[in-house]
Amino acid sequence: MSAELHVMMPTTPSVEPDDRQLVQTIREGDADAFELLVRRKTSKVYALCYRIIGNGEDAKDIAQLVFIKLWENLEKYDASYAFDTWLYRMVTNVAIDFMRNRQSRENAVNSNLRLVKTAADAEQTVVVQRKEVEHVFNDISDVLSPKQKTIFVMNQMDDLPSAEIAKILGCRESTVRNHLFNARKLMQQQLQKRYPEYAQLWRER
Partner 1 sequence: MISCEAFRTRFHASTEDPSLLDHLRACDRCLDFAVDVDPDVLFRSLGGAELVPPGGVDAFVSDVMRQVRVRDAETAAAARHRVISWPRRLAIAATIAAGLTGTLLTYRANAPTVAPQPIARIAHASAPVAAKALVTKPVVETYDSQNATIVEVPGESSDDVKVVMIFDENLPADL
205 binds partner 1 (CB under 8 A): yes
**Minimum CB distance to partner 1, residue 153 (Å):** 8
177 binds partner 1 (CB under 8 A): no
Name residues whose C-beta falls within 8 Å of residue 140's C-beta, 6 or more positions apart in sequence. 187, 190, 191, 194, 195
CA-based nearest residue to 144, from 85, 96, 110, 105: 96
Closer of 6 and 203 to partner 1 (Cβ):
203
DSSP 75: G
Name residues whose C-beta falls within 8 Å of residue 186's C-beta, 6 or more positions apart in sequence. 143, 144, 148
Within residues 85-144, the interface with partner 1 by CB under 8 A covers 127-130, 133-134, 137
163 binds partner 1 (CB under 8 A): no
Name residues whose C-beta falls within 8 Å of residue 68's C-beta, 6 or more positions apart in sequence. none
Binding site for partner 1 (CB under 8 A): 31, 34-35, 38-39, 42-44, 46-47, 50-51, 56-57, 59-60, 63-64, 67-68, 71-72, 127-130, 133-134, 137, 152-153, 156-159, 184, 187, 198, 201-202, 205
